[in-house]
Amino acid sequence: MADLEPKKLALLRIMQILLDYSDADHPLKQETIAYHLEKDYGTMLERKAVSRNLSLLKESGLEIEQTPNGSYLATRTFEDSELRLLIDSVLASKHISPKHSKELIEKLCSMSNKYFRRHVKNIYSVNDWDKTENPALFLNIEIIDEAIDTGKQIEFDYNKYGEDKKLHRTSHQFVSPYQFILHNQKYYLFSYNEKFGQIFCCRVDRITNVQIVEKPATDIHTIPGYKNGIDYNRFATAMPYMYTDEPKQIEMRVTENILDQVVDWFGKDITITRADEGQYLVRVFASPNAMELWAMQYSAYVEVLSPQDLRSRIAHTAKLTNEKYSR
């Protein structure tokens, strides 16, 4: 038994017991609550005192349902289905390390009762998922957030994977940080590269050794093309990959079976016109550099018609690809 504690804490302990042990399928009788009070907290309370505390909790606004089989907490901050959705999102996030994934899942599980944890089998499988090796992700986010809030520049090492499948430093960057952007299930830092004088988007999970520089960040409104700040919708739909070249209107012919993917990638602010049977003309406003990769990815279903320079680049890449596979 735990050391005895003051009975005036019983109100808080009963609330915690309801959080930990009760739901609609597991109502708690007053004797059971008294049992957990003594076993978990070393507090001995009579059944009538338990009943008074339950009434006080209800009066305070806690939604407690009382049935012939006992009492249970009727509402929580998150429903179990919502917690499962959040847990699955943590597991699927490649930018969160296995250690941090497990810690986050533990915290999410603590927001339900003891019975919920039994159903979260995949909490033990985080090491089986494809996760970042960067353990400093959350610390880096805090530092970068502080730099954004205080209008300071930052410096950091940028890393890429090598043949040994480990991260290696490839450059040292000085940038003015502006905003984190979640794109294609990856976190990017939208910033301005001070040395090269251009917008720079980099994967947050590739950043290490970040430090705040005691130098004011460049005002984004002074950068050509960004006098109105960052248009997130432009990056969400006009940038299928995180390139920062100037978007242009691009026309392409696509097959009907790829229309779903077109809308997924570029959103609904596009023009779709029926052409031949099973063929559609699509106009999007997008990064030409990103579109070159995107069009090659769906080359069996997509033909870029304009602009001509982009069409020529794709044709050249297709020719090189054909030569490789013709050997």
Taking only the tens place, the pLDDT of each residue in 6-23 is 567 888 899 989 988 888
> Shortest CA distance to 190 belongs to which of 177, 175, 206?
177
Before 307, cis peptide (omega within 30)? yes
167 φ/ψ angles, rounded to the nearest 5 degrees: -75, 135
User: Is the confidence at residue 216, as pLDDT, over 90?
Assistant: yes
- Max intra-chain CA distance, the chain: 86
pLDDT in the model for residue 305? 95
236 or 53, higher pLDDT: 53
**What average pLDDT does the segment 152-178 reach?**
87
Tell me if residue 69 falls in helix, strand or coil: coil
pLDDT in the model for residue 122? 47
CATH 2.30.30 fits 137-230, yes or no: yes
Tell me if residue 229 falls in helix, strand or coil: coil
The residues spanned by each domain of the chain are: 7-73, 80-128, 137-230, 248-325
> Shortest CA distance to 231 belongs to which of 203, 193, 269, 264?
269
What is the domain class of 7-73 according to CATH?
mainly alpha
Chain-centroid distance of CA 190 in Å reads: 16
How many of the other CB atoms lie within 10 Å of CB of 118? 8
- Conformation bin of residue 132: beta by default, left when phi > 0, alpha when psi is -120 to 50: beta
Q: Domain 248-325 adopts which CATH fold?
A: Alpha-Beta Plaits (3.30.70)
276 or 126, higher pLDDT: 276
